[in-house]
């Protein structure tokens, strides 16, 4: 059993937005004489996912130099430790509390935070080291540049943003999105807003096929055929569908911890049921809300506060009450569509979306808010 010293370990699994923000809060509030603060993550840097779509489409701006953000030395100072590894299992019973790493090492914990994020497919399925990631990025840039007829499978935010970036770089390329619902995005958002996105895509010259699916990603004789039999000219087919929760290793806690979809069951205090010393947050929790990095700050705030309350043993824990749905979908550098579920439903157009996200992709703001070098 790995022990850094006589102090007990508060362990965070996952170096994404939720994990880093829990770490940042606890590093100034945990009693350093009693507790170590340990962050375990597969990559030696924070990946600013919001900007990765533009990064894999074009070398313009060399985003790979600014959005793969090193964690910095403070993560290894004093009672803090950064471990670059994957967690393969979790043990939490009356006698033992530890995670096992892919190198076989065990890290004990007093409290544990599970925020491992999601698994992606296609261009966003990045490796866990920078060298391989940059090779993937270069390969995808070449594919996009070479292709003339590009089919994107899925018109959620990822597919829409890919279409905008491709049209920004190559206005004359043919871009088609195939989507399984009757309008872009999903039914969480009002139909009028989704139809407005359709209009914006058509204005950029993007073809949109709805209520249909693509089951094969390899064109045959320069064509693909949808599930309903529609033929589409294609020399590149790209998966831009949703993600899957990165929770396989959590199955080791028992069959009652995950939903059939692989999401982590949580109570309103964001504790895992029957495991009061384990919390979960980010994309992986079974909560009726959209999976977005924008939710991370609220999740992290509740989790960090509840860890402190749990260790203090004097007050009841804080309840997570959810949050408004807020999304800004870029359609190239100068456009996009935004929606906030507050009041009557507030919508945003090109100018505000470009100002808030599309132009600079929140890179500097993210680096500053997460206190990354």
Query: pLDDT 10s digit of each residue in the chain, 373 long?
Result: 344 678 999 999 999 999 999 999 999 999 999 999 999 999 999 999 999 999 999 999 999 999 999 999 999 999 999 999 999 999 999 999 999 999 999 999 999 999 999 999 999 999 999 999 999 999 999 999 999 999 999 999 999 999 999 999 999 999 999 999 999 999 999 999 999 999 999 999 999 999 999 999 999 999 999 999 999 999 999 999 989 999 999 999 999 999 999 999 999 999 999 999 999 999 999 999 999 999 999 999 999 999 999 999 888 999 999 999 999 999 999 999 999 999 889 999 999 999 999 999 999 999 999 999 9
Q: Count other C-beta atoms under 10 Å from residue 190's C-beta.
A: 15
Decide: 18 and 46 in contact? Cβ < 8 Å.
no
Helices (H) and strands (E) in the chain, counts: 8, 22
pLDDT of residue 1: 36
Distances (CA, A) of 225 to 40, 295, 332: 43, 37, 28
3-class secondary-structure state, position 194: helix
Name residue, tokens 């693509």: 214
Q: Are 175 and 167 in contact (CB under 8 A)?
A: yes
Q: What is the pLDDT of residue 315?
A: 87
Q: Which residue has the tokens 């599309």?
A: 358
Quick check: helix, strand or coil at residue 151? strand
DSSP 8-state assignment for residue 16 = S
Write the DSSP string, 353-365. Answer: HIIIIITTTTHHH
| Sequence-ordered list of residues with C-beta below 8 angstroms from that of 123, at least 6 positions apart, any chain | 53, 56, 136, 140, 162, 238
What the block records as the tokens of 254 is 């028992």
pLDDT at residue 5 in the model: 72
Tell the burial category of 260 from Cβ atoms under 10 Å away from its Cβ (0-12, 13-18, 19+). Answer: exposed
């Amino acid at each position: 059993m790995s022990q850094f010293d006589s102090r007990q370990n508060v362990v965070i699994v996952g170096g994404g937005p939720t994990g880093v923000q829990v770490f940042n809060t606890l590093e100034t509030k945990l009693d350093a004489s009693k507790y170590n603060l340990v962050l375990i993550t597969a990559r030696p840097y924070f990946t600013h996912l919001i900007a990765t779509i533009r990064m894999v489409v074009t070398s313009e701006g060399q985003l790979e130099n600014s959005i793969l953000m090193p964690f910095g030395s403070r993560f290894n100072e004093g009672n803090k430790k950064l471990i670059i590894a994957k967690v393969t299992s979790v043990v939490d019973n009356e006698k033992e509390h530890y995670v096992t790493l892919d190198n076989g090492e065990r890290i004990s914990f007093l409290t544990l935070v599970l925020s491992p994020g999601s698994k992606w497919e296609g261009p966003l399925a990045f490796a866990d080291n920078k060298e391989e990631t940059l090779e993937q990025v270069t390969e995808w840039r070449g594919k996009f540049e070479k292709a003339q007829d590009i089919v994107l499978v899925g018109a959620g935010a990822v597919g829409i943003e890919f279409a905008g970036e491709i049209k920004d770089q190559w206005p004359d390329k043919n871009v088609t999105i195939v989507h399984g619902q009757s309008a872009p995005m999903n039914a969480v958002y009002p139909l009028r807003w989704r139809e407005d996105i359709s209009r914006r895509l058509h204005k950029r010259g993007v073809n949109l096929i709805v209520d249909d699916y693509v089951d094969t990603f390899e064109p045959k004789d320069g064509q693909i055929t949808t599930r309903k039999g529609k033929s589409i000219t294609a020399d590149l087919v790209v998966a831009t569908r949703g993600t899957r929760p990165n929770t396989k290793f959590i199955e080791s806690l028992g069959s009652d911890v995950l939903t059939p979809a692989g999401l982590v069951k949580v109570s309103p205090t964001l504790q895992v049921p029957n495991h009061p010393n384990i919390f979960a947050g980010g994309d992986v929790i079974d909560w009726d809300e959209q999976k977005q990095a924008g939710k991370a700050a609220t999740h992290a705030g509740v989790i960090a506060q509840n860890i402190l309350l749990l260790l203090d043993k004097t007050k009841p824990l804080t309840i997570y009450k959810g949050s408004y749905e807020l999304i800004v979908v870029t359609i190239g550098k100068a456009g996009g569509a935004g929606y906030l579920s507050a009041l009557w439903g507030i919508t945003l157009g090109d100018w505000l979306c470009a100002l808030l996200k599309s132009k600079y992709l929140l890179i500097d703001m993210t680096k500053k808010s997460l206190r990354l070098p």
